[in-house]
């Protein structure tokens, strides 16, 4: 059920991506080892030109890619998204030397990127991060502290790291650094998480960085982080929509074929109404994701609020749709290897990362009241 806003060319491209994901990417994903970077899968994403498209297309194209890949191969979707998340700050704010060295390798899949923002004491509260960038001479620092729950760690080839260069300055004292994985003092530990891709903790023991490693400007790293998240949050929603659509499609087939109580499951009104609700919520989430992405591409006002709404609605919707699909399939959906068993594990994390659902509600409320104050109606 394509959204009305898509052009025929876009709809055809989405169909092509779903076919590529099923026929070329899923077989590689199935050969990957859980908890480790699948470099063969990344290389194929590079050969298909999808990694390069991360940096040559807008937010809507990013959403269409993530939704289409997620429908057939969540592992490919996640591999693509993590390359974009980790390398986008370099693409948007990096120096010529940083971009020239790393972006070609990111786009061909030979270098693995990671976005290192979260910390043990500052998960969704990015302004509270404590990783210290301690002065070590003119335009030199030593990074000391920890990052946690970092996707692609500890196997990434470089990290976009956010560290505090000015103490007690909140969001104004954070700087973004490009830190290659082989820097002395940088070590990592894999974490046993629910996800299929690697997630780890990073330990910084006086890791040296210089002004040549700064991404953007000193003490302006929070802007780099939020700009990246404003782009990627709607596409997290697109990932969720892709999973919801896959669960809905599987449920339609199952309820149309499954014999129950003298007929088919679809003949039971309670089942038909649940399926209708799944479709309604999925399409509503899709449209909000597309609207938020289009607003970003057009430079419309209110992008942070729109991005938060899209991520919130889509991820909560996908959780409901996948859960309902499992219920309607029954015990078979809980067998290891079943599509819905896979989706049930995959769908939970997006409600937490890149800002938990509660954080998104806070952003939405902040944007609403800011608009009221700007109009002078809240004073």
CATH of the domain at 85: 1.10.540.10
* Coil, helix or strand at residue 21: helix
Of 107, 123, 154, the position where a domain reaches its end is 107
- pLDDT confidence of residue 267: 92
- pLDDT confidence of residue 3: 46
- Are 74 and 148 part of one and the same domain? no
- Are 341 and 206 part of one and the same domain? no
Is 205 within the bounds of a domain?
yes
- Are 73 and 127 part of one and the same domain? no
Is 351 within the bounds of a domain?
yes
- Are 336 and 246 part of one and the same domain? yes
- pLDDT confidence of residue 271: 96
Of 219, 246, 267, the position where a domain reaches its end is 219
- Are 287 and 237 part of one and the same domain? yes
CA max distance for the chain: 80
Find where tokens 């959204």 sit.
3
Is 379 within the bounds of a domain?
no
Q: By C-alpha distance, which of 160, 164, 147 is closest to 227?
A: 160
How many structural domains compose the chain? 3
- Are 125 and 215 part of one and the same domain? yes
Query: Do strands 259-260 and 263-264 pair parallel, antiparallel, or not at all (unpaired)?
Result: antiparallel
- Are 141 and 63 part of one and the same domain? no
- Are 207 and 192 part of one and the same domain? yes
| 52 is annotated as an active-site residue | no
The tokens describing 373, both together, are 């104050």
Domain that holds residue 92: 8-107
- Are 140 and 66 part of one and the same domain? no
pLDDT truncated to tens, each residue of the chain (379 aa)? 444 568 889 999 999 999 999 999 999 999 999 999 999 999 999 999 999 999 998 999 999 999 999 999 999 999 999 999 999 999 999 999 999 999 999 999 999 999 999 998 876 566 678 899 999 989 999 999 999 999 999 999 999 999 999 998 888 899 999 999 999 999 999 999 888 889 999 999 999 999 999 999 999 999 999 999 889 999 999 999 999 999 999 999 999 999 888 889 999 999 999 999 999 999 999 999 999 999 999 999 999 999 999 999 999 999 999 999 999 999 999 999 999 999 999 999 999 988 899 999 999 999 999 878 777 776 6
- DSSP E strands: which ranges in 15-82? none
- pLDDT confidence of residue 4: 56
- Are 274 and 343 part of one and the same domain? yes
- Are 157 and 18 part of one and the same domain? no
Q: How far apart are the first and last CA of the chain?
A: 45
Exactly one of 354, 367, 374, 377 is catalytic; name it.
354
pTM: 0.92
Of 169, 187, 219, the position where a domain reaches its end is 219
- Are 32 and 48 part of one and the same domain? yes
């Amino acid at each position: 059920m394509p959204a009305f806003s898509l052009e025929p060319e876009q709809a055809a491209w989405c169909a092509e991506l779903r076919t590529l994901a099923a026929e070329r990417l899923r077989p590689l994903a199935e050969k990957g080892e859980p908890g480790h970077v699948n470099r063969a899968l990344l290389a194929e994403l590079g050969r298909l030109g999808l990694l390069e498209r991360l940096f040559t297309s807008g937010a809507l194209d990013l959403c269409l890619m993530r939704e289409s890949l997620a429908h057939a191969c969540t592992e490919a979707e996640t591999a693509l998204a993590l390359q974009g998340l980790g390398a986008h700050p370099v693409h948007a704010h990096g120096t010529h030397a940083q971009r020239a060295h790393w972006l070609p390798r990111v786009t061909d899949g030979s270098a693995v990127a990671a976005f290192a923002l979260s910390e043990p004491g500052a998960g969704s509260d990015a302004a509270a991060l404590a990783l210290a960038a301690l002065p070590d001479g003119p335009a030199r620092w030593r990074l000391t502290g920890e990052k946690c729950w970092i996707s692609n760690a500890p196997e990434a080839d470089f990290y976009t790291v956010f560290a505090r260069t000015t103490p007690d300055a909140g969001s104004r004292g954070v700087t973004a650094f490009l830190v290659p994985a082989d820097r002395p003092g940088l070590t990592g530990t894999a974490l046993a998480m629910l996800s299929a891709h690697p997630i780890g903790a990073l330990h910084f023991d006086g890791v040296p960085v210089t002004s040549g490693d700064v991404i953007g400007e000193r003490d302006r790293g929070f802007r780099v982080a939020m700009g990246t998240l404003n782009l990627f949050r709607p596409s997290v929603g697109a990932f969720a929509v892709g999973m919801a659509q896959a669960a809905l499609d599987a449920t339609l087939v199952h309820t149309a074929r499954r014999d129950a109580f003298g007929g088919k499951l679809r003949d039971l009104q309670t089942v038909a109404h649940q399926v209708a609700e799944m479709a309604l919520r999925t399409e509503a989430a899709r449209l909000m994701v597309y609207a938020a992405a289009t607003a970003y591409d057009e430079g419309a006002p209110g992008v942070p609020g729109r991005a938060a709404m899209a991520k919130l609605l889509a991820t909560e919707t996908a959780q409901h749709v996948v859960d309902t699909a499992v219920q309607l399939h029954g015990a078979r959906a809980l067998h290891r290897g079943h599509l819905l068993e896979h989706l049930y594990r995959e769908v939970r994390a997006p409600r937490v990362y890149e800002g938990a659902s509660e954080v998104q509600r806070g952003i939405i409320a902040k944007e609403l009241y800011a608009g009221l104050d700007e109009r002078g109606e809240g004073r």
